[in-house]
Amino acid sequence: MKYLTKKTSVIALLIAIFAVAVFAAANYQLFGDAELFSPGNNSPTAAQLRSTAGGFGGADFTITSGLTFADITNLSSEFKITSGACGAGSPRFQVKVVDAVTELTKNVFVYFGSHPNYNDCPVGTWTTTGDLLEAGKYVDSSQLTGGTFYHSYSDAVAAFGTWEVTGVQLVVDNGNVTVLADNVTINNTIFTFESANSCKNGGWQNFTSAPGPFTNQGQCVSYYAKGGQ
């Protein structure tokens, strides 16, 4: 009995460890004026999102079905603004929520930058947003019935926590802005923009952080061939 208890505890610990960060390399779709870009941040590939001449660019991430707004507990990204600046609501995450009153799908916006103004992103250097849903941070729920522009995340969860989430996107659509994004985190899943092609031509050596480093190209290609395992 003691053996079984110990074994069960070890298995539970391993599950908890691996649940901390799951890497997803292909579960996204670029749209608008967005494309893959090399290099990324400590990796071969990032996503380049641009908004020029009134256009927009973004990445739509695959999420688990059946999530509610209360289930979205962590949103962050590594990013580098190469042209323009943040502000006026861009760049941002947008969480697509089914409004329980109107039954229409609307967006809760989660802006890049520092609380409370979200318009002070550094330019020309890789940085991280940190978790934009930390206690005290604001979200913009003004599209939802009963929402507001400056809505603390905790209050938004209290108001809309049971409402269904149908998608999460990363979007740039303000002015002439170009942003590189890498290692986008939604809850415990880290979305990279890598594939087996990222390993070629010496690219495997650019994985200086997780899911690397790799010892050779074959190991890197094998990782992606197995679905990121």
pLDDT top residue among 37 and 26: 37
Looking at residue 33, what is its pLDDT? 94
What proportion of the chain, given as a percentage, has pLDDT over 90? 65
Whether 62 and 160 map to the same domain: the answer is: yes
Q: Residue 75, exposed/middle/buried by CB under 10 A (0-12, 13-18, 19+)?
A: buried
Residues 120 and 202 in one domain: no
- Residue 80, both tokens: 């580098």
Overall domain count for the chain? 2
Contact at 8 Å (CB) between 188 and 76? no
Residues 85-116 pLDDT 10s:
998 888 999 999 999 999 999 999 999 999 88
Q: Does the pLDDT of residue 208 top 90, yes or no?
A: no
Domain that holds residue 150: 20-194
Confidence of residue 25 (pLDDT cuts 50, 70, 90): low
Structural domain includes residue 53? yes
Which has the higher per-residue pLDDT, 96 or 13?
96
Q: Both 138 and 188 in a single domain?
A: yes
Query: Which has more pLDDT, 17 or 77?
Result: 77
Let me know if residue 135 belongs to a domain. Answer: yes
Query: Mean pLDDT of all residues in the chain?
Result: 88
**pTM (predicted TM-score):** 0.82
For residue 10, being part of any structural domain is answered with no
Confidence band, pLDDT 50/70/90 cuts, at residue 69: very high
**4 lies in some domain:** no
Kindly state whether residues 45 and 107 are assigned to the same domain. yes
Of the chain, the percentage scoring pLDDT greater than 70 comes to 88
In a domain, 174, yes or no: yes
Q: Between 113 and 42, where is the model more confident?
A: 113
**DSSP letter string, the chain:** -HHHHHHHHHHHHHHHHHHS-EEESS-EEEEESEEEES--SSSS-EEEEEE-TT--EEEEE---TT-BGGG---EEEEEEEEES--BTTBSEEEEEEE-TTT--EEEEEEESSSTTT-----BSS-EE---TTSTT-EEB-TTSTT--SSEEHHHHHHHHTTSBEEEEEEEE-SSSEEEEEEEEEETTEEE----GGGGTTTGGGG--STT---SSHHHHHHHHHTT--
Mean pLDDT across 104-129? 95
pLDDT at 190 (0 to 100): 93
Q: 120 and 182, same structural domain?
A: yes
106/219 same-domain check: no
Count CB-CB contacts under 10 A for residue 72: 23
Q: In the prediction, which pLDDT does 26 show?
A: 67
Same domain, 106 and 148: yes
Reported confidence tier of residue 15, pLDDT bands at 50, 70, 90: very low
3 belongs to a structural domain: no
* Residue 77 domain flag: yes
